[in-house]
């Protein structure tokens, strides 16, 4: 009896862990139709792999026209945010086994932003809101000759909101943003918070006035969708409430 080779043993071990999964993807191509449609793809895949791996298999092996964004594939760039089984998630951080692979895995573009093709949305309005809150350190006087020191306690004050990766998962999970794209949205407010409460910054008043606008923080209805959607675990709703409180008391 022939002894199995190492390659065959590894192949058998790998195949024994594969399961059949149906990916149900909402497709949209404006060059073909004005209407979006759902399309099913069946894959043999290890349940420990990620949704992003499944999308790769579809694009590389089944349908090269499938369009989606991805970059680092490790939860840092934030480019592959999408709705997976009705919830905003990063495809690169979502394991097949964690989302009931016995039923079709639905994948669609995030809501509230114009879909350009398949899973790709127009991010320009999202990034414009981000730019509008001046997400950079603003100080006065001459250029310093040494670094601006900050105590650990002062750094801790805004540590949570430094984690934002601009994936838009929070903003596109917000029902206010769905109904009114003029709303700044949670991500812009989170990034304003990061500088409003930075002891080295001197433009907190300016940012607060920007967010005091009719499309600013007062549009928030505290549904906690944004906090639930954040892949980095940022307490988004808490940050928005802290900005509201700073507007009322002008204490930061």
Please write the tens of the pLDDT for every residue from 177-201.
999 889 999 999 999 999 999 999 9
C-alpha dihedral, 118 to 120 to 125 to 131, nearest 10°? 170
Helices (H) and strands (E) in the chain, counts: 9, 7
The CA distance from 3 to 190, in Å, is 61
User: Over the stretch 134-190, which tens digit does the pLDDT of each residue have?
Assistant: 999 999 888 888 888 999 999 999 999 999 999 999 999 999 999 988 999 999 999
The model scores a pTM over 0.85: yes
Tell me the three state secondary structure of residue 120.
Answer: strand
Rg, C-alpha atoms of the chain? 22
Residue 171 and residue 111 in contact, taking contact as beta carbons nearer than 8 Å: no
Structure confidence at residue 9 as a pLDDT band (50, 70, 90):
very low
Give yes or no for residue 12 having a pLDDT over 70. no
The enclosing H or E element of 44 equals: strand 37-45
User: CB burial class (10 A; 0-12, 13-18, 19+) of residue 141?
Assistant: exposed
Return the pLDDT at 180: 84
Report the C-alpha gap between 238 and 227 in whole angstroms.
8
């Amino acid at each position: 009896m022939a002894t199995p080779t190492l390659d065959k043993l590894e192949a058998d071990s790998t195949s024994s862990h594969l399961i059949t999964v149906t990916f149900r993807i909402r497709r949209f191509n404006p060059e073909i139709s004005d209407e979006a449609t759902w399309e099913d793809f069946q894959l043999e895949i290890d349940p420990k792999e990620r949704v992003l791996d499944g999308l790769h298999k579809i694009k590389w092996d089944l349908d090269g026209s499938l369009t989606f964004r991805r970059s680092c594939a490790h939860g840092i760039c934030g480019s592959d945010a999408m709705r997976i089984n009705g919830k905003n998630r990063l495809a690169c951080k979502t394991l097949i086994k964690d989302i009931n692979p016995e039923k079709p895995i639905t994948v669609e573009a995030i809501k509230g932003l114009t879909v350009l093709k398949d899973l790709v949305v127009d991010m320009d309005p999202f990034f414009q809101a981000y730019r509008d809150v001046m997400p950079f350190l603003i100080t006065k006087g001459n250029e310093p000759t040494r670094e601006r020191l900050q105590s650990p306690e002062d750094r801790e004050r805004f540590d949570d909101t430094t984690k934002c990766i601009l994936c838009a998962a929070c903003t596109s999970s917000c029902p206010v943003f769905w109904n009114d794209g003029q709303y700044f949205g949670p991500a812009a407010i989170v990034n304003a918070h990061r500088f409003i409460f930075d002891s080295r910054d001197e433009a907190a008043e300016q940012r607060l006035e920007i967010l005091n606008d009719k499309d600013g923080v007062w549009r928030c209805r505290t549904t906690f969708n944004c906090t639930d959607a954040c892949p980095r675990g940022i307490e988004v709703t808490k940050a928005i409430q802290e900005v509201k409180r700073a507007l009322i008391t002008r204490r930061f």
